[in-house]
Amino acid sequence: MSAAPSHIWVRAEHRPDERRVGLTPQGAAELIAAGVRVTVEDCPRRAMPIAGYRAAGCEIAAAGTWPDAPEDAVIFGLKELPDDGQPLRHRHLMFGHAFKGQPAGRALLRRFRAGGGTLYDLEYLVNNEGTRVAAFGYWAGYAGAAVALLCWAAQQEGTGAGAVRAYDSCNHLLADVQTRLLATGTHRPVAIVVGALGRVGRGATDLCTAMGVPVTAWDIAETAGGGPFPQILAHDLFFNCVLARPGTPVFVPAASLHMPRRLTVIGDIACDPYSDFSPVRVYDAVTTWEAPSLRVHEAPPLDVMAIDNLPSLLPVESSEDYAGQLLGTLLDFPHDRSGTWARARATFETQAEQV
């Protein structure tokens, strides 16, 4: 185990539409009380105002100054770093998306190797049972189902899905989706959620229930046979809530585009089209807030929603939820009683050796 993090540096997010943060002012105050130095970069887009961190006793730094942080600082962010090719010398805590064969991930690992730094990938912080200690999954599912329903509503109106934006709260999101669905009439689509028992699936199901959308809930038992899964094509919407990994069945193969189907919208909430193990094989690129859906077939239409930072549509709820889950593990970094940090470092070292 490397030296304990006497200093956590919360960086400003590089992506313009990313408002989430993995540490709240309250959590920062607990770290400081435990003897950890906390620096937070100023970022006006962040859902948590900088004044709260200042009041908690954090040091405040200008956005983007983390490359000059002290050597012992752990740089804590969520999404991708600037793609400038610079070697990375610090320990970084972030979602690297680098361990499943992604081309951009390999480039990131080469930067760590060049600088001698370490990636503690947030997706690979797991307990002794192999369960992630913290995840944005619930709010990813909730927001992803909402955006997919907006895409479906746009289909009914014969238009493309318009740009999406961050909401002040989930109540504001619910009101917006309800208004759009009511504009299409009284008919409601029928959805199937695969991975329904997990955090992502529960979020998607809860949103659908709130909108009066019937849900077929599938999990491991229903997909254990490995497919094909014609039942998916018999629904209006399919929500993939299963992370891509070796052995994941292919739920929607490329051939589905030319099969008889009722399916017109896929919400790939797990969203890993660049992985060799992606279970949705009808598209190959993420979608964006500006263009949330990708038309992959015209007649009958099939649109894919695959935004890769869905929880940021609800930045306050998702940040508070995630930060609360993660705080205990951050506080345990010096001791690593459950081996979470050692496992994450070992995963990184194994992957870095292969690039």
Residues annotated catalytic, as ranges: 79, 97
Six-digit token string for 327? 């705080």
What is the DSSP secondary structure assignment for residue 154, as one 8-state letter?
H
C-alpha of 271 from chain center: 8
Six-digit token string for 258? 């030319």
CA quadruple 152, 225, 255, 270: dihedral sign: positive
Rounded CA-CA distance 148/159 in Å is: 14
CA distances for 189 relative to 149, 153, 235, 355, angstroms: 9, 9, 8, 45
CA distances for 12 relative to 38, 45, 48, 64, 151, angstroms: 14, 9, 12, 6, 31
Beta carbons of 10 and 54 less than 8 angstroms apart: no
Rounded CA-CA distance 191/204 in Å is: 10
Rounded CA-CA distance 239/30 in Å is: 37
The overall longest dimension of the chain from CA atoms, in Å, is 62
